[in-house]
Each structure stands twice: as structure tokens, then as C-alpha cells.
């Protein structure tokens, strides 16, 4: 079994020298290397956790909230790290510790980690078709739907997200929604060794702010929605939005698809610095709180969900239609309008990557629609006759919990039990909102 600190290491090794790294990234080489020619020292992998360091590593010592990573560099060197990348402060600490390997000094090593790791591993993302999804709610579900659609088309898929990482049929544990840059690039290299063709990946606001996806340019980026979350890290909603918006820049993506059912989606489409296709799921004349332009109305979109029909099991059949007439009709068994939005976003992203609409519709029909099992996302865990309907959902903020309950209650006969996870602040807010919702719905749910 993989332990929490095990790391993914591709089997093949591209050997890089310290000198080549210094020239390519404009770094200074210092330190007391045991070799007389420090710049000739070779590395072939990258680590940012001393507990996982091994022979051939370039260990990256980053400044932390409590301690500088350079304090752990001696342990990494003891485990086989052949060189260290750090900042000026880290270089001083390494000098004091008399670490005898070459030290590469960068002004901001965290910002350099992604591109450097991508270079060490031979640019693995360049040989994948990549999809990145950001937003407050729906990232996990949308990436699973993307992966499901791509596999239906015959591609061998890779997936990176909160629940797990997949490389083809190989399933690996996940510690972060988006892995640290060095681990991410190693994972992409391992995917290429496994013959993976496509990548569906969650991209968190933390990952964008902390440079975890630097060095990776997605073929298509997607935006689900924005609501209150992670304000302890970002400070306020505008700053949270700006972190998400970084995905829609040439440094991170080539083109995008943005759900424009609210003012934040409209704003994302407006500020994007890459070509963006808009997707609307709500009615075209539906109200928008505040309105993106003060009108309180939605603008026309490139892609629109039409002919949505709720099925008996709570799922929905629907079509995603482009203004030019292209259309894909499919269905999803996941309940609720928000899951229609997630499924429609997955469809639009695959189409924006260049897939023919008829090919996608035929592939999804053969696969039974967009209905993958998504662990912890509207996951039914009790189906016994006459028993309560028991559902597990990672609704971790007030909006997500309310949407889940509003989707489940109308399609549930009898009692409904929902197990959800949330922060203390979100739990309190969700509880207040749920009490109000329950009192107006007169439901027996608990």
C-alpha cells in the first residue's frame, strides 16, 4: 500500500546537469560540492519533501510558514539528493550546515519549481491533451465526467484531483486537490510511460496562487462557478476570483470554456486573456444577482443547454448546442441542475478541444451517457427497499450543501439522509441555510 508520503517516480530518467539548469533558468551555483566540477553533477528527478528524497534528486528547499526547507536539505542529501535549489536565505543555511552538494540559487524558487521539474522530466504534458477545471463547486465531478467522455472516445485517460489520481487503470492516492509542482510533473511523466493520452485535472485556487501548475499549459481550461470558500487563504472574494482567473491566461491555458450563469462567470469570460467559449445552463432571460453589466439579465452564450428533461431516477437528459448549430445530446444520472452544468461543461470542453460533435454523441450513447461513479459526490450508499435514501456528498460550503439537498429531496420518496463534509464556518452557515430551506419545504429529510 502507498503511504501518505510515498511519491510517484517515472521509471525512465532524463539526465540533466546542474550547469545546464543554471544556464537555462538563469541561476547562480554556489556551495561546497564534493565534486571538483559542481556544474557537471547530474540529476534526473525533483523532490520537495526530504522524506521522499532519493538518489538522483534535485531537492527544492522552499521557505515555509514555520521553517525554511533548507533545514531539511541535509536529510534529503543523506537520502541521495545530488543538488539543492533554494533562495538566498536557504543558501546561507546550507552553507552553515556545510552541505556538500551544488546549490542553485533563485530569487523565487517556488515560481521556478514547475518549469524546472517539467524540464527535468522532459516536458511530459506536451505529449498529452490536457483539460484543467477550476471553480468553487463541481471541479471533481466535472473532471470525472471529462475522463469518462474521453475514455468513451477511446482515449486512455489520466485524472488528477481531490479523491484520487489515475494513470490509465492504475489508481493512486491523492493528498492535495492539485499536487505540488514537482510531484505533478513526475505524475505526468509516469502517465506518459503508462501510455496515457489525455489528462483531466482539478486546478485549485491554492495551486494557482502557489505556482503548482506552473510549467503546464492546458489545452482547454474550464470554469464552473464561484462562491464563498478559502477566504482564510485569499482574504476576500475578489482576491479568490483573481486566483481562479489566472488559469485563463496564456501562461496556463490555450483556450477556455466558462459557465456564465452568474455574474462571476460573466466576469471570468470578460477578463480571460485567452480565447473563451461561454456556456449557459440557466434560461437566457433568467435573473442574475447584481447582473454582470447592471442589467440583471444573462447575455447570449456560445454553448447553451437545451431540451433538458428530468428522468425518473433524478438524472437528466439534455443537449448542448452551439450557436453554429453543432449539438450533442446525452444524459447524466447525477441529480440536480448543477450536475447538468457540470456535464455540459465537460461536453463543451471536449468539443472545444476539436472533437467532432457526432463522434462524441455516438461515443456517449454507447457508454450509457455521462454517468460515471464519482466517489463522495452525490454517492448513493443505501439502496435497500423501504430504507432511507443515504447519500454521501462533499458539500463543503453553504451553496454546495443547499444545491445538493434541493436536488435530492424532490427525487426521494421517504426519508433522506445526507452525509457531508465542511469546515466549521461553512457548517454553521450551511446549518442556518438548511433550517430555513427545511422549514419552507416541509420535508422529513435529516
Placement of cell 428522468 in the chain:
311
Which of 366, 387, 410 is the endpoint of a domain? 366
Residues 174 and 30 occupy one common structural domain: no
259 domain residue, yes or no: yes
Residues 114 and 131 occupy one common structural domain: no
For range 12-25, the mean pLDDT: 92
Q: What is the DSSP string of 241-279?
A: HHHHHGGGSTTTEEEEEEE-SSHHHHHHHHH-SS-EEEE
Residue 318, pLDDT above cutoff 50? yes
Residues 136 and 104 occupy one common structural domain: no
What is the rounded CA–CA span in Å between residue 351 and residue 383?
Answer: 35
Residue 121, pLDDT above cutoff 50? yes
What is the rounded CA–CA span in Å between residue 422 and residue 399?
Answer: 11
pLDDT-derived band at 164, boundaries 50, 70, 90: confident
- What CATH number is associated with residue 75? 3.40.1390.10
Residue 389, pLDDT above cutoff 90? no
Residue 381, pLDDT above cutoff 70? no
69 domain residue, yes or no: yes
Residues 25 and 143 occupy one common structural domain: no
Residue 177 has a CB neighbour count (10 Å cut-off) of: 19
Residues 223 and 143 occupy one common structural domain: yes
- What CATH number is associated with residue 291? 3.40.1190.10
**What is the pLDDT at residue 177?**
72
Q: How far is CA 434 from the centre of its chain?
A: 28
Residues 277 and 420 occupy one common structural domain: no
Q: Please tell me the total count of domains within the chain.
A: 3
Residue 274, pLDDT above cutoff 50? yes
On average, the pLDDT of the chain sits at 83
317 domain residue, yes or no: yes
What is the rounded CA–CA span in Å between residue 84 and residue 254?
Answer: 32
pLDDT-derived band at 259, boundaries 50, 70, 90: very high
Residue 283, pLDDT above cutoff 70? no
371 domain residue, yes or no: no
**What is the pLDDT at residue 413?**
66
For range 63-71, the mean pLDDT: 92
pLDDT-derived band at 65, boundaries 50, 70, 90: confident
pLDDT-derived band at 231, boundaries 50, 70, 90: low
Residues 28 and 40 occupy one common structural domain: yes
Of 222, 305, 228, 230, nearest to 268 by C-alpha is 222
What is the rounded CA–CA span in Å between residue 399 and residue 49?
Answer: 36
**What is the pLDDT at residue 433?**
42
What is the rounded CA–CA span in Å between residue 28 and residue 237?
Answer: 39
Residues 221 and 309 occupy one common structural domain: yes
Chain segment 243-252, per-residue pLDDT in tens? 999 999 999 9
417 domain residue, yes or no: yes
Determine the structural domain holding residue 345 and report its residue range.
124-366
Residues 401 and 360 occupy one common structural domain: no
2 domain residue, yes or no: no
Residues 142 and 266 occupy one common structural domain: yes
Residue 286, pLDDT above cutoff 90? no
pLDDT-derived band at 54, boundaries 50, 70, 90: very high
Angle at 315 between CA 312 and CA 319, to 5 degrees: 115
pLDDT-derived band at 14, boundaries 50, 70, 90: confident
Residues 169 and 295 occupy one common structural domain: yes
Report DSSP state, residue 213: T
Residues 307 and 406 occupy one common structural domain: no
pLDDT-derived band at 311, boundaries 50, 70, 90: confident
Which of 80, 100, 120 is the endpoint of a domain? 120
Which of 366, 400, 429 is the endpoint of a domain? 366
8 domain residue, yes or no: no
**Ranges 165-174, 331-340, 363-372, 430-439, most confident:** 363-372
372 domain residue, yes or no: no
Amino acid at each position: 500500500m502507498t503511504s501518505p508520503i510515498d511519491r510517484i517516480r517515472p521509471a525512465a530518467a532524463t539526465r540533466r546537469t546542474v550547469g545546464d539548469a543554471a544556464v537555462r533558468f538563469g541561476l547562480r551555483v554556489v556551495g561546497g560540492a564534493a565534486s571538483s566540477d559542481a556544474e557537471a553533477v547530474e540529476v534526473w528527478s525533483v523532490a520537495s519533501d526530504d522524506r521522499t528524497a532519493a538518489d538522483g534528486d534535485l531537492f527544492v528547499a522552499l521557505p515555509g510558514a514555520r521553517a525554511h526547507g533548507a533545514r531539511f536539505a541535509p536529510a534529503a542529501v543523506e537520502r541521495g539528493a545530488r543538488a539543492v535549489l533554494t533562495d538566498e536565505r536557504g543558501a546561507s543555511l546550507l552553507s552553515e550546515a556545510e552541505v556538500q552538494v551544488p546549490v542553485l540559487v533563485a530569487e523565487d524558487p517556488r515560481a521556478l519549481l514547475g518549469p524546472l521539474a517539467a524540464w527535468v522530466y522532459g516536458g511530459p504534458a506536451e505529449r498529452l491533451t490536457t483539460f484543467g477545471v477550476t471553480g468553487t463547486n463541481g471541479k471533481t465531478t466535472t473532471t470525472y465526467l471529462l475522463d469518462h467522455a474521453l475514455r468513451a472516445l477511446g482515449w486512455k485517460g489520466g485524472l488528477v484531483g481531490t479523491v484520487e489520481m489515475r494513470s490509465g487503470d492504475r489508481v493512486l492516492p491523492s493528498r492535495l486537490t492539485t499536487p505540488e509542482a514537482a510531484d505533478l510533473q513526475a505524475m505526468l511523466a509516469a502517465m506518459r510511460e503508462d501510455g496515457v493520452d489525455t489528462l483531466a485535472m482539478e486546478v485549485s485556487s491554492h495551486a494557482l496562487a502557489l505556482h503548482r501548475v506552473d510549467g503546464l499549459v492546458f489545452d482547454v481550461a474550464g470554469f464552473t462557478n464561484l462562491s464563498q470558500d478559502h477566504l482564510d487563504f485569499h482574504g476576500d472574494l475578489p482576491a479568490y476570483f483573481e486566483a481562479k482567473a489566472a488559469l485563463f491566461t496564456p501562461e496556463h491555458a490555450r483556450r477556455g470554456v466558462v459557465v456564465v450563469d452568474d455574474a462571476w462567470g460573466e466576469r471570468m469570460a470578460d477578463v480571460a486573456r485567452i480565447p473563451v467559449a461561454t456556456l449557459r445552463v440557466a434560461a437566457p432571460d433568467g435573473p442574475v444577482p447584481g447582473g454582470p453589466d447592471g442589467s440583471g439579465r444573462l447575455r447570449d452564450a456560445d454553448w447553451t443547454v437545451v431540451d433538458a428533461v428530468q428522468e425518473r431516477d433524478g438524472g437528466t437528459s439534455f443537449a448542448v448546442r452551439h450557436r453554429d448549430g453543432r449539438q450533442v445530446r446525452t444524459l447524466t444520472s447525477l441529480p440536480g441542475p448543477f450536475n447538468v452544468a457540470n456535464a455540459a461543461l465537460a461536453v463543451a470542453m471536449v468539443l472545444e478541444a476539436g472533437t467532432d460533435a457526432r463522434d462524441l454523441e455516438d461515443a456517449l450513447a454507447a457508454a450509457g451517457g455521462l454517468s460515471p461513479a464519482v466517489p463522495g459526490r452525490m454517492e448513493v450508499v443505501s439502496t435497500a427497499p423501504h430504507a432511507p435514501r443515504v447519500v454521501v456528498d462533499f458539500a463543503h460550503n453553504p451553496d454546495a450543501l443547499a444545491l445538493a439537498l434541493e436536488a435530492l429531496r424532490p427525487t426521494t420518496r421517504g426519508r433522506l439522509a445526507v452525509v457531508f463534509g465542511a469546515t466549521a464556518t461553512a457548517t454553521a452557515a450551511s446549518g442556518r441555510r438548511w433550517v430555513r430551506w427545511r422549514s419552507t419545504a416541509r420535508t422529513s429529510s435529516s
